[in-house]
Amino acid sequence: MALLAPDKIEGIIPLGTSLDYESERARSLGCWDGPSVLTGSIDAWTSKTPTPDFEPDDQFCDFLIDKGFGKNSDKNVRDFWTKTIRANYKGDEGRRRARMAAVNVRERDGLHGRLFDVTCPVMWLHGTNDAIFSVTDAEQEIKLFVNSPSAQLVTVKDGQHFLSASHPQDADDALVDFVGRC
């Protein structure tokens, strides 16, 4: 929307992300290797045969939880999300949704070429312990908002990839401050 209706957008808040595709540049800056990590699951979940008994295994659940909340996440958090992931991706329809989500992440396009046209303020929130995208990547990419009146990277110490879950108060405070300035 910041590109299509810039007069209506007061600001952008990227949260624990990368604006690149799953590139070698991003990997060289410490971001994950999404294609390598996801291809095995995509291949395993590709089936013309119905899979009514499909349920994500422990490895998949642990992968999502470890990457999003951190390997040392609380047992209650881990148990809740394992149950939720299994319920969400259960059966043939769940398998197809899990596969499509993985394909979309593996094959996503980048936004670098579009950032020149962003003309609103940007506040990028990023956790220092994000297991998917590095702070180094965020430090480089925030500089691509060359026509933004202000482009600021705010790092949250020990914040995970799911920053609003690992550090909700820090994320909330930064958001309220940013919205108050826009």
Tell me: pLDDT of 4 over 90: no
pTM here is 0.88
**How far, in whole angstroms, is CA 118 from its chain's centroid?**
20
Instruction: Please name which of 136, 132, 114 lies closest in space to residue 12, comparing C-alpha atoms.
Output: 114
Chain segment 120-156, per-residue pLDDT in tens = 999 999 999 999 999 999 999 999 999 999 999 999 9
Tell me: pLDDT of 2 over 90: no
Rounded mean pLDDT of 100-105? 95
